[in-house]
Amino acid sequence: MEKLLKNINEYVIQEIDDKQRLQYINARSDFNTFLNALSEAKSIRGGMFWKSQNGNEYLIRTSASNSQTSLGPKSTETQAIYDRFTEKKAKTLQYIKHAEQLVYQNKRMNRALYVGRTPQIVVDVLNEMRERGLEQFFTVVGTHAIYAYESEAGVRINNADALATKDVDFLFDTRKSIQFASAVRRLDSSVLGVLQKVDPSFKLHHEQKYTAVNKNGFEVDFIRREVKQTDDQHPMRLTDHEEDFWVVQAKNADVLLDSEPFYAMVVSTSGDMARMKTVNPYTFVSFKRWMAELPGRDVLKKPRDKVQADIVEALITQYFPHLKKPPSKFN
């Protein structure tokens, strides 16, 4: 194993240069500032105004959906509420504008210094899910997780076969089904509709209703853990929309779901940034080794499973020694 890791380190794993590393660190910090600004903006969605009625003025709070709630007649207390809200909203909007400028500047620098190489379509889908409030319900699993690991480690994996794939797998957290249903109701959109905001050519696969494919042949798959109890809905469509994904059960997906999450900022070749949530690298290694030994696994994919496991294991050894190794539960 030592010899194998040495070979991988010398010929497959290449560290990015100092300028790229510094740019990635700065961009990650500014991107987190941007995400924090967006999170803060949730508290000032909607607005407040004074409404005259029957000779009195009332403070009205409006929601993002334009519903209205009276906070009471004008008084010292309601005036203070109005003043605090308008001041906070002005500061937050200014904060967001500044953060957006930072993101734009970093996008240009990322592109100029060749900081990123995560497929653009993946970055775009991740950002669209975040903007729609859906990212908390999904975890990226499979080959594309390697982009998160290499980004956080500050390296490039120079093995085209290890990264060659035209599909990304999203693991749906069925434990959050109720919260998810509430989130998509507010959107009034199917998950397929969210993907079509990124690329209108996405359509459901005519045979695999858990897969959407675009005009370039790139696929997005939605999987779930196997049914665990009687109230665990199956078959399961992500939303009530007729044209939407049916989530397919995947063996041992519960192990992936229970894995400690691993977050990293990934960057596309054009410099766009997104936050990717995937699984602990140790879990990825165990999963890929299990897949490589699976009797029904495509024989053409087994060698890639093994190589991916070896590469990520080498990354753990060199760059993630602080990570806790969970017990392997794959069977």
Name the token pair of 256.
Answer: 């992936």
pLDDT tens over the chain, length 331 residues: 444 444 555 568 999 999 999 999 999 999 999 999 998 888 788 888 999 888 889 998 988 777 888 999 999 999 999 999 999 999 989 999 999 999 999 999 999 999 999 999 999 999 999 999 999 999 999 999 999 999 999 999 998 888 888 999 999 999 999 999 989 888 888 999 999 999 999 999 988 899 999 999 999 999 999 887 655 666 789 998 988 999 999 999 999 999 999 999 999 999 999 999 999 999 999 999 999 998 888 888 899 999 999 999 999 999 999 998 888 777 6
What is the helix (H) or strand (E) element at residue 93, kind and residue range? Answer: helix 76-112
Is the overall model pTM greater than 0.75, yes or no? Answer: yes
Query: Where do the DSSP E strands lie in the chain?
Result: 13-15, 47-53, 56-62, 68-73, 138-141, 155-157, 167-172, 203-204, 211-213, 219-224, 236-237, 246-249, 261-267, 273-279
Alpha-carbon radius of gyration of the chain: 23
Q: Roughly how many angstroms between the first and final C-alpha of the chain, as a whole number?
A: 23
Q: Tell me the pairing of strands 219-224 and 167-172.
A: parallel
Per-residue pLDDT at 2? 45
125, with CB counted inside 10 A (0-12, 13-18, 19+), is: buried
Per-residue pLDDT at 187? 86
Per-residue pLDDT at 1? 43
Per-residue pLDDT at 300? 84
Query: Which single residue is written with the structure tokens 């500047």?
Result: 105
Per-residue pLDDT at 3? 46
Helix, strand, coil share of the chain (percent; to 5): 50, 20, 30
Q: Which residues contact 123 (CB under 8 A, 6 or more apart)?
A: 266, 267, 268, 272, 273, 274
